[in-house]
Structure 1
Amino acid sequence: MRMDVLTLFPAMFEEVFAASILGKAKEKGIVSLQAINFRDYSNNKHNTVDDAPFGGGGGMVLKAEPIFAAVEALISEGAAKPRVVLMCPQGEPYTQRKAEELSQESHLIFICGHYEGFDERIREHLVTDEISIGDYVLTGGELAAMVVIDSVARLLPGVLGNEMSAVTDSFSTGLLEYPHYTRPAKFREWEVPDVLISGHHINVANWRRKQSLRRTWQRRPELLTHVELTKEERQWIQAWERNPADSI
């Protein structure tokens, strides 16, 4: 996969693209990552990329010309058109399902803004997706783009050492992930649940499913509306609702 980021601060991405999982994926050739300063595509001698909004008001607005020029320069002739993702607080809330959708693409372009906003023609005629990582405002779209890039890249085959890690992550199954334990089996007075050291794989799988369901019911019950539950699982939830103490 190829991922390009249009930003006024490409230096912010240097360490992110070189470190940890992303760095290894880049070294393996699984993903191509680059940050481009769209100021280089400005069409005026001062290389300005923003201007005052028509109609007045505070703040500056990113101009359409340099953004369009930068995106068009990144599109290879004859290649499939990339998804162009605008990072903005007005976008659709980002989810694991969206990450999985984007991971199927071969080329993604992210646009990171600053100032008051974007010329609306960028939204209307250039971008394919608008994404928000939460109901809050950042100083720019760079940190949000890093979040999306990381969550998408880790889904690509060969990026993670254990391919099952992405499959069982929170939200990948529609539920929050079950609790994890490792050695020692007893730490201070706290012991690992017996089922996990029983060697009985079916019992372990059933325990994990029940724990995921319970944790989701406790912390993010709205997620359960999108999960297909068995009759037994619905009975578990009904029992927890009657006696919440049993779910602890």
Structure 2
Amino acid sequence: MNIAIITIFPEFFEGPLNVSLVGKARATSLLETAVVDLRTFGVGPHRQVDDAPFGGGAGMVLQAEPLANALEPFANTHRVLLTPGGDQLVQGTLDRWASLESLTLVCGRYEGIDERIAQHFIDEEISLGDYVLLGGEVAALAIIEGVTRLLPGAVGNAQSVETESFRDGLLEEPQYTRPARWRGWDVPEVLLSGHHGRVEEWRRRQRLERTRQRRPDLLDQG
């Protein structure tokens, strides 16, 4: 899969793209990434990429021309704008994107981007949630991790991807590892029983209860 990131801070990605599963996926060419510095397409001797908003107001807006020029090489990809005003990112969106050949992530900044770019050069607008960050770079990294782990061969045990939170509309059950007793707290006995049927029944009950307590909205959606 190919993922391009358009940003005014390319150095933001130097470390994260080279570690963990993302780094391994890139090393084996399972994932190809291109970090595009928007300022390369800036206007004038100072490579300007932003300007004051029409109508007045605080902050700056990323200009249309630099963004259009940066996006044109990726016209045949699925182009996603990362913005607080977008649809909230959910697991189903990552599943859908993981089946694509190419994805382009546009990192918003300041007060946003010229709306004409959003209307004519963007296929989808996505937000991490109901809060505002300094820009779209953190969201881009979240998406890259979320998509990479879904690529065939990226995760050592593919079953771990199929049995996690949100796969069946529920949160994942509690997890335990050795030792069975730690500081006086014991692992649930059923997990030590070796009885796979009872273990699966316990896990299902735990997923339901945890979802009911923490994310009842997921049950309402079901």
**Which TM-score band (shorter chain)?**
over 0.9
Match of 2:3 in 1: 3
Match of 1:236 in 2: none
| Distance (whole Å) between structure 2 residues aligned to residue 218 and residue 56 of structure 1 | 46
Q: How does 1:29-178 map to 2 (within 5 A)?
A: 29-75=29-75, 81-178=76-173
| Distance (whole Å) between structure 2 residues aligned to residue 199 and residue 140 of structure 1 | 48
| Distance (whole Å) between structure 1 residues aligned to residue 214 and residue 55 of structure 2 | 45
Offset, 1:44: 2.8
Offset, 1:43: 4.2
Answer yes or no: is 1:221 the counterpart of 2:210: no
Identity %: 48
Answer yes or no: is 1:210 the counterpart of 2:205: yes
Runs of 4+ in structure 1 off by over 4 angstroms are: none
| Distance (whole Å) between structure 2 residues aligned to residue 181 and residue 166 of structure 1 | 18
Comparing 153-162 and 86-95, the one that deviates more: 153-162
| Distance (whole Å) between structure 2 residues aligned to residue 87 and residue 28 of structure 1 | 27
Offset, 1:45: 3.0
Question: Deviations for 1:145-174, whole angstroms, at most 9, x for unmatched residues?
Answer: 111111111111111111111111111221
Give the TM-score of the pair, scaled to structure 2.
0.96
Structure 1: unaligned runs, 5 residues or longer:
76-80, 228-248
| Distance (whole Å) between structure 2 residues aligned to residue 221 and residue 56 of structure 1 | 42
Partner secondary structure for residue 176 of structure 1: coil
Partner secondary structure for residue 24 of structure 1: helix
Partner secondary structure for residue 15 of structure 2: helix
Offset, 1:226: 3.0
Give the TM-score of the pair, scaled to structure 1.
0.86
Structure 2: unaligned runs, 5 residues or longer:
none
| Distance (whole Å) between structure 2 residues aligned to residue 181 and residue 174 of structure 1 | 22
What amino acid maps onto 1:40 in structure 2?
T
Question: Deviations for 1:90-113, whole angstroms, at most 9, x for unmatched residues?
Answer: 000111111111111110000012
| Distance (whole Å) between structure 1 residues aligned to residue 57 and residue 208 of structure 2 | 49
Match of 2:25 in 1: 25
| Distance (whole Å) between structure 2 residues aligned to residue 124 and residue 13 of structure 1 | 27
What amino acid maps onto 1:142 in structure 2?
E
How many residues in Structure 1 have an aligned counterpart in Structure 2?
Answer: 222
Offset, 1:182: 1.0
Answer yes or no: is 1:185 the counterpart of 2:180: yes
Offset, 1:188: 2.5
Question: Deviations for 1:182-225, whole angstroms, at most 9, x for unmatched residues?
Answer: 11112222221121121111111111111101100111111012
